[in-house]
Structure 1
């Protein structure tokens, strides 16, 4: 199977999201909207195994390239911190007349989704934080883990983006997966080409510095923010996530007013790609019962 055999029945569209050209892989014409959001240095193709199953279950699906990523615009005159990704999401929804949506946010996408819910609560139907980033709990153990995680993500991302080679890109993707065999040559080539395009070479090091930089820490999801979120949130984690460990997500699920928590295994950071059948089943059941 390839990315495009997985995506048969979907379409690629480019939208003017308030001045930012944004690529979306879309499917489904009826039902509630679900917006799928990838992590830092990622791209919409990573949701290739989820778009059609979710659409066939009765939802309108939009897997988007975040600003600066994939085939979306890559402006230089912005700061690639959480508020930018929230603003991009809002502009995308406005451009497509999406009043409210469900969100599946993987890694950075989870951080973006919950920050969006904090700022625009009336536009959120529910959130699945899929090994989501940005959690900052107040106890000393959690704080120490956050610092370690941020440094680890920064190191592995910068190695892949500063001077990208196919081998460095493969190493970055292997970091995501519990089983290196899940990293296909096609996936490596797709990401390598995004990174080594003229715009990619110019912007990805800036994204790595700013999105994973100290400046973005001020936008992290503190316990006060988590307590304020009134939407339903599913923390969908894994047994081998290389970033935030599962027990931190479980703690966060008990802090938000309407939180749930579940674990998919065996999987690393990309459960939606590693275990698509399990993840799709969980997502469909959860969205239909929220």
Structure 2
């Protein structure tokens, strides 16, 4: 099914966030759920999710700073930079507190939102999250991230249908089922944008252990998290294996862990029904009684 047939019922909106024009895909009412994509991604990563989740929540998928159709200023593009942008977006939208669902880089950003403003994050869903360094596992030095760096570099240096397809195929356990011509064309348009070509080296800098490693989510940092936390992983995640997620979950008091079978790095796209069932079970369990008074 087409990306945008899946998204029928949602609205594309652009918001001025401290001068940064920011694209969002939005639907629903009630407590806010923000969906944050991975590195190089865009709201289309959640095309299958916004409308179903909006049956119970106000759902906002965001093109993060520099990504998709959001503005592309010069900058460091490290997790605290993305986190500051998302918190400012919440201010713009009048959202005092939100559930943050982060996939890959998006989860790393969510952690740094907790560090910056813990009272504003109602819950943290760490979905195949990036940036973990726990008990001997180092995400940025893993073979999966090395392969991601290679494919990303090839696709950003020469954005063609073939290089973009190869980059997208890395995301899926069964790429032949999910890497459609439409998805390739969509990402090709974003990655061929001259502004995107200019900032790609800045965005890629986070995958350098010497730079991104300053912001690792370590066991010590996890032990200080008091936010309700859900580690939602997959059987075949190409970066951080589920065993490392299981280890990480033991460092967050009261956290939950689920492992989705037969999925790679985009479980929300590969098995949306399974993703919604698991995520809503968690969100519903922490949403009761949560104070979501609008920001003044």
Q: TM-score, normalised by structure 1?
A: 0.95
1:170 maps to 2:165:
yes
Structure 2 unmatched ranges of 5 or more:
287-296
State whether residues 123 and 228 of structure 2, in contact with CA within 8 Å, keep that contact through their aligned partners in structure 1: yes
Q: Any idea what SS the aligned residue of 1:176 has?
A: coil
Quote the residue 2:201 is aligned against. Answer: 205
1:136 maps to 2:130:
no
State whether residues 166 and 189 of structure 1, in contact with CA within 8 Å, keep that contact through their aligned partners in structure 2: yes
Which of 63, 66, 80 does residue 64 from structure 2 map onto?
66
Which of 154, 161, 174 does residue 159 from structure 1 map onto?
154
Q: CA deviation at 1:220?
A: 1.0
Q: CA deviation at 1:163?
A: 1.6
Quote the residue 1:17 is aligned against. Answer: 17
Q: Any idea what SS the aligned residue of 1:103 has?
A: strand
Cα distance in 1 between the residues matched to 2:242 and 2:2: 30
Cα distance in 1 between the residues matched to 2:86 and 2:145: 23
Q: Which runs of 4+ in 1 moved over 3 A?
A: none
Q: Any idea what SS the aligned residue of 1:255 has?
A: coil
State whether residues 100 and 125 of structure 1, in contact with CA within 8 Å, keep that contact through their aligned partners in structure 2: yes
Superposed counterparts of 1:17-166, under 5 Å: 17-28=17-28, 30-56=29-55, 58-76=56-74, 78-137=75-134, 139-140=135-136, 142-143=137-138, 146-148=140-142, 149-166=144-161
1:271 maps to 2:267:
yes
Cα distance in 2 between the residues matched to 1:79 and 1:45: 24
Cα distance in 2 between the residues matched to 1:73 and 1:258: 38
1:17-62 per-position Cα deviation (integer Å, ceiling 9, x unaligned): 122111000001x211000000000001110000000001x10010
1:59-106 per-position Cα deviation (integer Å, ceiling 9, x unaligned): 001000011100000002x11111111111111111111100001100
Cα distance in 1 between the residues matched to 2:81 and 2:157: 22
Quote the residue 2:175 is aligned against. Answer: 180
Two-structure CA RMSD over aligned residues (Å): 1.2
Quote the residue 2:280 is aligned against. Answer: 284
Q: Any idea what SS the aligned residue of 1:9 has?
A: coil
Cα distance in 1 between the residues matched to 2:194 and 2:272: 32
1:190 maps to 2:186:
yes
Q: CA deviation at 1:160?
A: 1.5
Q: TM-score, normalised by structure 2?
A: 0.93
State whether residues 140 and 207 of structure 2, in contact with CA within 8 Å, keep that contact through their aligned partners in structure 1: no
Structure 1 unmatched ranges of 5 or more:
none
Which of 219, 222, 227 does residue 231 from structure 1 map onto?
227
Q: CA deviation at 1:146?
A: 4.5
Cα distance in 1 between the residues matched to 2:201 and 2:190: 13
